[in-house]
Structure 1
Amino acid sequence: MNAIQGILLIAIGSIGAASFYVPFKKVKVWSWESYWIMQGFAAWLLVPFLFAWLTVPDNALFEVLANAPTKPKMLAILFGILWGIGGLTFGLSIRYLGVALGQSLALGLTAAFGTLVPPLVNPDESLSLILVLGVGICVAGIAIIGYAGSLKNKTMSEEQRKAAVAEFALKKGILIAVLAGVMSACFNYGLEAAKPIEELTRSYGTNPLFLKNPSLVFILWGGFLTNAVYCVYLNIKKKTYRDYFGSGLHIFFNNLFFTFLAGFLWFLQFHFLGMGQSKLPEDIAVFGWSILMALNISFSNIWGIILKEWKGASRKTMWVLVAGIIVLIASTFVVSL
């Protein structure tokens, strides 16, 4: 029963993550780099700190952050910086491929690398058959969805593709999605490196559901640094820094609300990942990462259908897409069998 509870908790966060790009549809005037870094400020700095502060008892968060072992802190930040490259290119993959296909390709690779590599490099963790089977099913689902994307590209005209995704560019999008997927897996490496911080957090009487929250502060700070450097560079190069103060107060507060909403939704995946993994049996808790990625892909493709990114695709393409989503969802339940 605990495994089912864990999966359901992860699914709640996954719904938020798969939905995070939707509020951007309400952002007006601002360039991509401006609204991306604003959601990042909320997702990677503000909200993680707030959740950690609320869930570590007796206002002890600052003590935890200060007293955490130096090496795990530095590794968490380092992996966060590397993950930031994945997070940055992840946004670009959605920009060029759409919510459905962009997230499917990027998150699929993230699922495979992020789940399989920690047991391979850590002698204290075993690479169980159930783990390999679950990831294998997940990758099969990703391949099916990728095939659906290929069918969509062949059967839709250029005008139809542009209508569904304004900046659609298949080859560029796929290359960026591959880079995003590989680098985004560094987030899970950061979580593995930060386990001593979890133990320190436990010593302060923190509920086991929330032990990962202080670790997220370090990882996401590193990710924010990477994205901030690139987005500020684009703001200066393209003179889009004017977005923040040159579009009027109404647009500024409208965009602030929707970018912060996007950041809040995005962060939920990792808050609930920590909660869900605490419910999974210890020998398969590592599979929580793959569960999250598979559910993110499934829900993002549902959003892709709602947002009409697949409008004009053939019936065969839609059946292939649905089959891929079903396989992905099935992969998340392998651990409970």
Structure 2
Amino acid sequence: MASDPVLGLTLITLAGIATACFYAPFKQVRGWAWETYWLAFGVTSWVVGPWLAAWLTVPQLGEVLSDAPGRALAMSFIFGALWGVGSLTNGLALRYLGLSLGWAIPLGLCAALGTLLPPAVSGEFPQLLQTSSGRMTLVSVAVGLVGIAICAKAGSLKDRELSMQAKREAISEFNLGRGLWLSVVAGVMSACMAFGIAEGKPIAAVAIEHGAAEVWQNTPLFAVLLLGGFATNAAWCLVLGIRHRTARQLAEGPALRLSFNYLLCTLAGALWYLQSLFYGMGETKMGRYRFAGWSVLMACIIIFSNLWGLAFREWAGTSRTTRTWLAAGLAVLVLSALMTSYGSYLATYESY
């Protein structure tokens, strides 16, 4: 399949925008606890969206799944469940830190682990050092980590400059300590998504054999992987719902408020699933170094989530120095994404 780095980067950028936007509708949900709206959101993002897309884009979906290797199906589901722990803690980190700081730390770890570990585990890492494209890709990952560190520095300065009252005006449940450790767990566990994608490639291959277009080959893979993620998140949300007696919120309250809350959660879920859809399409266009698309996705999410943070005035009241650190971090992350795309571009010439 011919690679197209520019198209791949564009699709992955759209995936990053969708991810950065998905949490915004939750700010308008009324009368629901976090576990209530997170469960409602998960049904759309991790069950309905993925399986509907797979059914619409892959001929003979049932036969594809029955013919796919059992190990690929099992490992995709298992890594999806492990990724679900990262998604769950990431959602909590966003709850306690806001859109800006709540993305920077977990995605910093996730970008490094999700990009570097798959080729390391498969034994391909030494080969990366022998080509210009591989070296460029590795440097781009390092640059991305520097950009993430700069964004984290901006978040640290913000924390020092604002009073607790000012922080809670922007983020109602602000809790720095709790948010930080959740961010670390989220970053480590979210990297399992990259492993799930790598292990599930035989599913995509079977989809192509059954007539699926190459650009849609990953939709059944993501359907299985995200089902594992939903299992983890749903289990924890139900535990919290029983413990806090909030499960009844899914059916209680004024009909108008219920309808509006479900609409907002569906919108959030649709936006989140667009990440998987666009990333799955873009990843097929990134050439030999398609694994680098993961770091591009992480960088794009941080860039656009910080823009949302500015829109929600999460940085209101901070000094010009702090905002300069934030702008510098975003600029470095853009550079990282461009370097990664260039590395993939170089790889297309080295393959001949």
TM-score class, shorter-chain normalisation, is: over 0.9
Q: Deviations over 1:46-87 (max 9, x none)?
A: 000011111113xx1121122211001000010011001001
Matched residue, 1:316: 321
- SS of the equivalent of 2:230 reads helix
CA contact (8 A) 1:108 1:297 kept: no
Residue ranges of structure 1 left out of the alignment (5+ in a row): none
Q: Deviations over 1:250-269 (max 9, x none)?
A: 11111111101101101111
- Alpha-carbon offset, residue 109 of structure 1: 1.1
Matched residue, 1:300: 305
1:224 counterpart letter in structure 2: F
Q: Deviations over 1:89-142 (max 9, x none)?
A: 000000110011101111121111100100111025644322221110110000
2:303 counterpart letter in structure 1: S
CA distance in 2, matches of 1:27, 1:211: 35
- Alpha-carbon offset, residue 242 of structure 1: 1.6
CA contact (8 A) 1:98 1:304 kept: yes
Q: Does 1:167 align with 2:173?
A: yes
CA distance in 1, matches of 2:124, 2:182: 34
Q: 2:57 aligns with which of 47, 51, 55?
A: 55
Summarize the alignment of residues 61-210 of structure 1 with structure 2, pairs less than 5 Å apart. 61-124=61-124, 126-127=127-128, 128-210=134-216
Matched residue, 1:288: 293
- Alpha-carbon offset, residue 336 of structure 1: 3.5
CA contact (8 A) 2:296 2:340 kept: no
CA contact (8 A) 1:14 1:268 kept: no
1:301 counterpart letter in structure 2: N
- Alpha-carbon offset, residue 320 of structure 1: 0.5
CA distance in 2, matches of 1:271, 1:111: 19
CA distance in 2, matches of 1:13, 1:120: 25
CA contact (8 A) 1:3 1:335 kept: no
CA distance in 2, matches of 1:336, 1:119: 17
Matched residue, 2:217: 211
- Alpha-carbon offset, residue 174 of structure 1: 0.8
Matched residue, 2:332: 327
Q: 1:8 aligns with which of 10, 35, 52?
A: 10
Q: 2:275 aligns with which of 266, 269, 280?
A: 269
Q: Does 1:246 align with 2:252?
A: yes
- With the length of structure 2 as denominator, give the TM-score of the two structures: 0.93
Matched residue, 1:37: 39
CA contact (8 A) 1:212 1:274 kept: yes
- Alpha-carbon offset, residue 272 of structure 1: 0.8
1:177 counterpart letter in structure 2: S
CA distance in 2, matches of 1:220, 1:275: 16
CA distance in 2, matches of 1:268, 1:142: 24
Matched residue, 1:278: 284
1:252 counterpart letter in structure 2: L
Distance 1:101 1:245, change over 3 A: same
List structure 1 segments (4+ residues) > 3 angstroms apart after TM superposition: 124-127
- With the length of structure 1 as denominator, give the TM-score of the two structures: 0.97
CA distance in 1, matches of 2:157, 2:37: 32
CA contact (8 A) 2:103 2:305 kept: yes
CA contact (8 A) 2:21 2:308 kept: yes
- SS of the equivalent of 1:333 reads helix
